């Protein structure tokens, strides 16, 4: 029986896994997620074929590793899932890792790469630690399955030097890797391809301002298909506020907030170190600190339940508006579209309308009916602009961080795809572009093997190829 690909997305409080077939396009075999790991009881969502299931779990799952083991067992023991009955049915495990440091491409896990990634753990403690715990678990307990890590930061390697450099002592900055990295890149890469295809434009001629706004929120300026700036920085804390994150603040604020700022937080473990300041700004700020809820659906309502809820909404709108203005100028006003994505971006019609109204001077306008309706289940990109096509489009994109792009896995042949380049001739133009693209590190004489997982219906393998 052909083997499957397992995609894993370990967040700070949730773990999501999806098994895909190797078909073209790939079929989702099963989608399973556990949320609320840090705030029990945990909730399981499970979807396989036509079966959908949600339950509160009695089991105490306090770490991402526990949640991953539980999910894996649940899938392997499902009698209706003959395709994934054990680890023998899995060829690759593709992990979303938020911080990839200087890695431009996805990497296969071995002792060397794992050692390097361990060195980055402290830079994204809320994210990398849980992802790498799962990578380590896979390495020890599923040793025959190859693990490949895909980085949120890779997409932003194109950010120019003046944008990514902090004006601090450069020797110290270089020695410690202190620069802007940017995150949510797996999502931005999916959105870029989906939107370019939707607008019928080549990726490398597409200019967008994209918002990935969920419980972690960021915004990205994309010029000619490349990230030129993004709001997150050295860590995912910078930029926009989020469910529990402050976003950008005056850095000296922490020393006025508490004189314990530099001490280790009680949340630290022997392997994971978080300072008190990091803990406060990452986990005890944002909507939660302002309103008591981390659920933006309770904040983005026409009649907010309190002044604090209204303030939280206004703060978010203000910060996003500031970035849109700045990025519009950075893109020289040459903008194809403004894209809303992520849990809030995809679901909050109120936030979209408020923001677009505030950005009217840039030529943005929204169609209220289309905006209120939002995208259908199968609609990856939806145009909600008003007017006949003049001015930048206002779009919603239902992003997908599970469908990681193998396109950046340059320089290594994936044995499951020993197909010739011909295999791709009938695929979408953009997929071929991606194979040819410079981010692949491909080109004359270098062996490149690529599987581009991209948009289109239910999110999908668009092409696979192999080139000498």
Ligand X SMILES: Nc1ncnc2c1ncn2[C@@H]1O[C@H](COP(=O)(O)OP(=O)(O)O)[C@@H](O)[C@H]1O
- Using CB under 6 A as the binding rule, the residues of this chain from 449 to 468 that contact ligand UVW are none
- Which of residues 15, 93, 94, 98 is near ligand UVW by CB under 6 A? 98
- Residue count of the chain, please give it: 468
Q: How many CA atoms lie within 13 A of 88 on its CB side?
A: 4
Residue 413's SS3 state is coil
Between 225 and 375, whose beta carbon lies closer to ligand X? 375
- Cα gap 255→272, rounded to integer Å: 22
Between 108 and 372, whose beta carbon lies closer to ligand X? 372
Please give the backbone phi and psi of residue 230, each rounded to the nearest 5 degrees, phi first. Answer: -150, 160
The size of the interface with ligand UVW (CB under 6 A), counted in residues, is 11
* Shortest Å distance, C-beta 213 to ligand UVW: 9
- Among all residues, whose Cβ is closest to ligand UVW? 216
* Shortest Å distance, C-beta 130 to ligand X: 13
Alpha-carbon distances of 107 from 41, 211, 385, 437, 454, rounded to whole Å: 35, 27, 39, 18, 19
Q: Does 184 bind ligand UVW (CB under 6 A)?
A: yes
What are the residues binding ligand X (CB under 6 A)? 11, 214-216, 243, 295-297, 300, 342-344, 347-348
Cis peptide before 41 (omega within 30 of 0): yes
- Cα gap 14→67, rounded to integer Å: 8
Binding residues: 9, 16, 96, 212-216, 401
Crossing angle for the helix pair 128-141 and 64-76, to the nearest 10 degrees: 50
Residue 77's SS3 state is coil
Q: From the list ligand UVW, Mg ion, ligand X, none, pick the one residue 98 interacts with, judged by a Cβ distance below 5 to 8 Å according to partner type.
A: ligand UVW
- Which of residues 89, 133, 152, 336 is near ligand UVW by CB under 6 A? 152
Sign of CA dihedral 315, 317, 321, 323: positive
Binding residues for Mg(2+): 9, 401
Between 182 and 214, whose beta carbon lies closer to Mg ion? 214
Q: From the list ligand X, Mg ion, ligand UVW, none, pick the one residue 343 interacts with, judged by a Cβ distance below 5 to 8 Å according to partner type.
A: ligand X
If 0-12 CB within 10 Å is exposed, 13-18 middle and 19+ buried, where does residue 465 land? buried
Pick the stretch among 106-114, 211-219, 319-327, 349-357 that binds ligand UVW (CB under 6 A).
Answer: 211-219
Q: How many helices and strands in the chain, by DSSP H and E? A: 14, 16
Q: Is residue 279 annotated as part of the catalytic site, yes or no?
A: no
Strand-strand pairing, 43-48 and 51-56: antiparallel
* Shortest Å distance, C-beta 387 to ligand UVW: 32
Please give the backbone phi and psi of residue 228, each rounded to the nearest 5 degrees, phi first. Answer: -115, -15
Q: Does 25 bind ligand UVW (CB under 6 A)?
A: no
* Shortest Å distance, C-beta 26 to Mg ion: 22
* Shortest Å distance, C-beta 459 to ligand X: 15
Written as six digits, the tokens of 391 are: 């001015």
Written as six digits, the tokens of 357 are: 């109204």
Written as six digits, the tokens of 333 are: 């006003």
- Which of residues 8, 11, 208, 340 is near ligand UVW by CB under 6 A? 11
* Shortest Å distance, C-beta 214 to Mg ion: 5
- Which of residues 101, 225, 233, 236 is near ligand UVW by CB under 6 A? 236
Written as six digits, the tokens of 131 are: 């992802």
Written as six digits, the tokens of 443 are: 């080109």
- Which of residues 216, 375, 410, 455 is near ligand UVW by CB under 6 A? 216
Q: From the list Mg ion, ligand UVW, ligand X, none, pick the one residue 151 interacts with, judged by a Cβ distance below 5 to 8 Å according to partner type.
A: none
- Which of residues 25, 101, 182, 214 is near ligand UVW by CB under 6 A? 214
Between 11 and 410, whose beta carbon lies closer to ligand UVW? 11
Q: From the list ligand X, ligand UVW, Mg ion, none, pick the one residue 344 interacts with, judged by a Cβ distance below 5 to 8 Å according to partner type.
A: ligand X
Q: What share of the chain is helix, strand, coil (3-state, %, to 5)?
A: 35, 20, 45
> Residue 10: enclosing H or E segment and its boundaries?
strand 4-10
Catalytic residue among 66, 89, 152, 279: 152
Cis peptide before 25 (omega within 30 of 0): yes
- Cα gap 265→260, rounded to integer Å: 9
* Shortest Å distance, C-beta 61 to Mg ion: 19
Q: Does 151 bind ligand UVW (CB under 6 A)?
A: no
Among all residues, which ones are annotated catalytic? Answer: 152
Which residues here bind ligand UVW, judged by CB under 6 A? 11-12, 98, 127, 152, 183-184, 214-216, 236
């Amino acid at each position: 029986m052909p083997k499957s690909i397992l995609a894993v997305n370990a967040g700070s409080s949730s773990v999501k896994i999806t098994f895909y077939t190797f078909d073209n396009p790939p079929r989702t075999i099963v989608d399973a997620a556990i949320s609320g790991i840090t705030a029990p009881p945990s909730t399981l969502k499970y979807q396989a074929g036509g079966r959908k299931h949600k339950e509160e779990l009695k089991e105490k799952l306090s770490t991402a590793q526990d949640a991953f083991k539980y999910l894996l067992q649940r899938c392997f023991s499902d009698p209706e899932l003959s395709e994934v009955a054990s680890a023998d049915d899995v060829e690759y495990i593709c992990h979303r890792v938020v911080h990839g440091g200087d890695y431009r491409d996805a990497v296969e896990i071995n002792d060397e790469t794992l050692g390097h990634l361990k060195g980055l753990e402290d830079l994204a403690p809320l994210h990398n630690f849980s992802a790498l715990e799962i990578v380590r678990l896979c390495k020890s307990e599923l040793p025959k399955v190859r693990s490949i890590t895909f980085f949120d930061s890779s997409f932003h390697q194109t950010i120019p030097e003046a944008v990514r450099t902090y004006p601090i002592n450069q020797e110290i900055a270089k020695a410690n890797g202190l620069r802007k990295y940017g995150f949510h890149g797996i999502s931005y890469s999916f959105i870029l391809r989906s939107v370019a295809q939707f607008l019928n434009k080549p990726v490398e001629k597409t200019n967008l301002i994209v918002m990935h706004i969920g419980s972690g929120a960021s915004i990205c300026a994309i010029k000619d298909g490349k990230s030129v700036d993004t709001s997150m920085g050295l860590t995912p804390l910078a930029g926009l506020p989020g469910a529990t994150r402050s976003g950008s603040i005056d850095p000296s604020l922490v020393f006025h907030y508490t004189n314990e700022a530099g001490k280790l937080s009680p949340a630290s473990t022997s392997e994971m170190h978080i300072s008190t300041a990091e803990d406060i700004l990452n986990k005890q700020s944002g909507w939660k600190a302002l309103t008591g809820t981390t659920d933006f659906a309770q904040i983005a309502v026409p009649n907010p339940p309190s002044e604090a809820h209204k303030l939280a909404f206004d703060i978010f709108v203000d910060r996003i508006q500031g970035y849109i203005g700045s990025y519009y100028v950075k893109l020289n006003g040459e903008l194809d579209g403004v894209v809303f994505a992520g849990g809030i971006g995809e679901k909050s019609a109120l936030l979209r309308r408020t923001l677009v109204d505030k950005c009217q001077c840039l030529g943005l306008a929204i169609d209220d009916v289309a905006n209120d309706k939002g995208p259908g289940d199968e609609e990856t990109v939806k145009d909600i602009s008003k007017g006949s096509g003049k001015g930048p489009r206002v779009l919603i994109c239902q992003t997908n961080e599970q469908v990681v792009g193998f396109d950046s896995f340059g320089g290594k042949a994936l044995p499951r795809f020993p197909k010739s380049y011909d295999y791709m001739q009938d695929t979408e133009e953009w997929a071929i572009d991606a194979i040819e693209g410079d981010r692949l590190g491909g080109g004359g004489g270098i062996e490149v093997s690529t599987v581009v997982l991209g948009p289109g219906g239910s999110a999908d393998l668009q092409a696979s190829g192999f080139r000498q």
